[in-house]
């Protein structure tokens, strides 16, 4: 069974919904969430108590039992362990097996540290938590990323190696202060023991020197432990992969059932994977980004099979400890996901043009009508053609212009972009090629199929030196040619939080709406929120809402980062427009 289909086999008792008739809440088991929260509370308590003034009183009482450096190391270790427990709580809530293993080890270590600091009450709390973790061990089963093991080992070895070299060098520099005639072998032993908080066999003439060496080695030992744990628990990922027949089956589903969602064709992006319903009549297209399994649009396929696909996808998320989220689904898809316990908020609206009812006449279309007339008088013309009907020379020119006209080095898009141009498998895509009076290509559009009778705007490129009205001419030309292509509806750009901007322009808009709209307009310079809304609104489209689905409010920050990364709005996510071979 392929890895990206194994989620369908995960048992429902582990928290994955069965897709039954009634609403099913997709949530971590309550006991698991309680344990995770208790671990975080205990970790925060440990970190705070390690720096309280009462520590100094206990330190004086233990001075005759333990070296000063050992007590300081124990105090620092308690702080690090506490912070790690706070960090591990998030992994425990998602059911990560490795988080449970590390937490169990750290709780045992915490018991020892508290005893070393003469805090028996704290040691008892850590011991009780350790027992609870052992009793509830079956709740933590999510698989981690195997590659993280070697990365964590490398990071830990790097810190330990650096600490060993630095500690050895410190002793060598202060060799004249070493008493008892200890040689390099004893030095190495002293450094190695110091990295685990134990005093070594080397003695110094001055206590300050001994404390300095012990603190250096102990600090690197703690850093190695903490960094290794963090890397080990980094959110897992999955490389996008398709089985040999996945693409063909997906195209078949889009042909038969693709009329419902204008974003369905974007499931064919190469960076998406598929989770199939057992019947193979529906699928969820998704990508794992920073531990978030990010689906986009509605499920693909026959709606009666959507619950099977959603259940399989959520089971896969549960098996790996990933946070499920859906970006830009429609009303039908949002309702289906909501039945499985995901909450939904309106993300924005999609502009839909009704081809038979579109006209340039009337006062409301005056701006578009004047822009189109102006560039046509300047000699601009548009060719609207299916990709499969375009000759090789024109296609090569269009590909070159698609790259040359791009205004940013980053190719953005995930939920509403194909991120490739002119592929041989995309023969049904419609291209609008705009040339000036001298025959030079000055702009182009690419539309992907939306069922049998629709198009969805994918790519928009224009020469910045072209006359104003270039975009309006290309859009209007596509609408005018749509009837000959059998197209009755066209989806344009997506307007984020359009309803807020629209309500702010209405008479009697409240102060909260107006402030919110001002904030969105201020952000428009970065994300073109207001400009996209106005660019769409002038065509007088109908607006179809799009939603963001998520498990709970606490997951929204992680989901927002994952979505921005997938859409290439973060610096770490950089792509260039793919140019597939013809």
How far is residue 64 from each of residues 55, 59, 162, measured CA to CA in Å? 16, 10, 32
Tens-digit pLDDT profile for residues 501-557: 555 565 556 565 566 556 656 655 555 666 677 778 889 999 999 999 999 888 888
pLDDT value for 22: 42
> At 57, is the pLDDT very low, low, confident or very high (cuts 50, 70, 90)?
very low
Share of the chain above pLDDT 90, in %: 32
| Predicted confidence (pLDDT) at residue 420 exceeds the cutoff of 80 | yes
Q: Where does the pLDDT of residue 443 fall: very low under 50, low under 70, confident under 90, or very high at 90 and above?
A: very high
Task: Please give the C-alpha separations between residue 104 and each of 110, 141, 152, 402, in angstroms, as whole numbers.
Answer: 10, 14, 18, 55
d(CA 303, CA 282): 8
Q: In 3-state terms, what secondary structure has residue 308?
A: helix
Average pLDDT over residues 293-310: 94
Q: Identify the pLDDT of residue 433.
A: 95
Residue 226 clears pLDDT 60, i.e. is over it: yes
With a cut of 90, say whether residue 384 has pLDDT above it.
yes
Which residue spans within 304-420 are E strands per DSSP? 323-329, 343-354, 381-386
- Domains of the chain, by residue range, sit at 30-232
Read off the pLDDT of residues 47-56 as tens digits, 9 standing for 90 and up.
Answer: 777 665 544 4
Report the pLDDT averaged over residues 464-493.
92
Neighbours of 582 (CB within 10 A): 12
Q: Between these two residues, 79 and 485, which has the higher pLDDT value?
A: 485
The 10s digit of each residue's pLDDT in 144-189 is: 766 777 777 888 888 888 888 888 888 888 787 877 777 888 888 8
pLDDT digits (tens, 9 = 90+) for 552-578: 888 888 898 888 888 877 765 444 444
- What pLDDT shows up at residue 64? 40
Tokens of 88: 């591990």
Query: Which H or E run contains 361?
Result: none
pLDDT at 145: 67
Residue 17: band (very low, low, confident or very high) from pLDDT cuts 50, 70, 90: very low
297 three-class SS: coil
Percent of the chain past pLDDT 70, that is, above it, reads 79
As given in the structure block, the two tokens for residue 292 are 């978030």
Helix axes 120-135, 30-49, angle to 10 degrees: 160
pLDDT grade for 2, boundaries at 50, 70 and 90? very low
């Amino acid at each position: 069974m392929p890895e990206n289909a194994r989620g369908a086999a995960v048992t429902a008792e582990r928290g994955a919904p069965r897709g039954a008739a009634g609403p099913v809440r997709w949530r971590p088991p309550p006991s698991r969430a309680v344990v995770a929260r208790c671990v975080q509370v205990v970790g925060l308590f440990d970190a705070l108590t390690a720096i309280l003034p009462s520590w100094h009183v206990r330190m004086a009482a233990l001075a005759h039992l333990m070296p000063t450096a050992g007590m300081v190391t124990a105090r620092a270790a308690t702080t690090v362990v506490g912070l790690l427990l706070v960090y591990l709580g998030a992994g425990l809530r998602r059911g990560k097996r490795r988080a449970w293993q590390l937490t169990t080890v750290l709780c045992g270590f915490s018991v020892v540290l508290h005893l070393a600091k003469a805090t028996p009450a704290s040691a008892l709390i850590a011991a009780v938590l350790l027992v609870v973790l052992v009793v509830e061990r079956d709740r933590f089963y999510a698989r981690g990323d195997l590659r993280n093991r070697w990365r964590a080992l490398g990071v830990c070895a790097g810190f330990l190696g650096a600490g060993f070299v630095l500690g050895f060098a410190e002793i060598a520099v202060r060799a004249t202060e070493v008493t008892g005639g200890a040689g390099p072998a004893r030095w190495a032993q002293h450094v190695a023991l110091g990295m685990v908080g134990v005093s070594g066999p080397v003695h110094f003439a001055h206590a300050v020197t001994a404390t300095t060496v012990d603190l250096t080695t102990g600090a690197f030992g703690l850093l190695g432990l903490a960094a290794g744990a963090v890397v080990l628990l980094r959110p897992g990922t999955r490389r996008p992969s398709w089985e040999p027949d996945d693409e063909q089956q997906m195209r078949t589903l889009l042909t038969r059932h693709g009329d419902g969602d204008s974003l369905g064709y974007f499931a064919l992006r190469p960076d998406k994977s598929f989770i199939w319903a057992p019947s193979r009549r529906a699928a969820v297209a998704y990508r794992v980004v920073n531990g978030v399994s990010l689906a986009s649009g509605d499920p693909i396929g026959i709606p009666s099979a959507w619950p099977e696909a959603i259940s399989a996808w959520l089971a896969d998320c549960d098996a790996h400890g990933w946070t499920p989220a859906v970006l830009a689904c429609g009303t039908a898809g949002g309702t289906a996901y909501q039945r499985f316990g995901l909450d939904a908020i309106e993300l924005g609206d999609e502009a839909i043009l009704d081809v038979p009812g579109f006209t340039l006449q009337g006062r409301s279309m005056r701006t578009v009508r004047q822009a189109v007339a102006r560039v046509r008088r300047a000699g601009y013309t548009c060719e609207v053609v299916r990709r499969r009907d375009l000759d090789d020379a024109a296609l090569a020119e269009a590909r070159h212009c698609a790259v040359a006209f791009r205004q940013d080095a980053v190719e953005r898009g995930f939920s509403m972009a194909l991120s490739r141009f002119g592929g041989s498998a995309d023969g049904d895509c419609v291209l609008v090629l705009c040339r000036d009076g001298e025959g030079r290509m000055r702009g182009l559009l690419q539309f992907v199929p939306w069922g049998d009778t629709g198009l969805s705007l994918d790519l928009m490129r224009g020469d910045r030196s072209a006359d104003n009205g270039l975009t309006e001419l290309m859009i209007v030309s596509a609408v005018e040619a749509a009837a000959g292509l059998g197209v009755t509806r066209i989806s344009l750009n997506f307007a984020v939080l359009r309803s807020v901007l629209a309500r702010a322009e209405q008479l009697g808009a409240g102060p909260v709406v107006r402030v919110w709209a001002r904030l969105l307009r201020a952000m428009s310079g970065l994300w073109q929120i207001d400009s996209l809304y106005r660019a769409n609104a002038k065509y007088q489209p109908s607006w179809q809402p799009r939603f963001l689905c998520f498990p709970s409010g606490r997951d929204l920050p992680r989901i927002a980062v994952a979505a921005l990364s997938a859409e290439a709005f973060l610096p770490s996510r950089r792509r260039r427009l793919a140019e597939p071979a013809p």
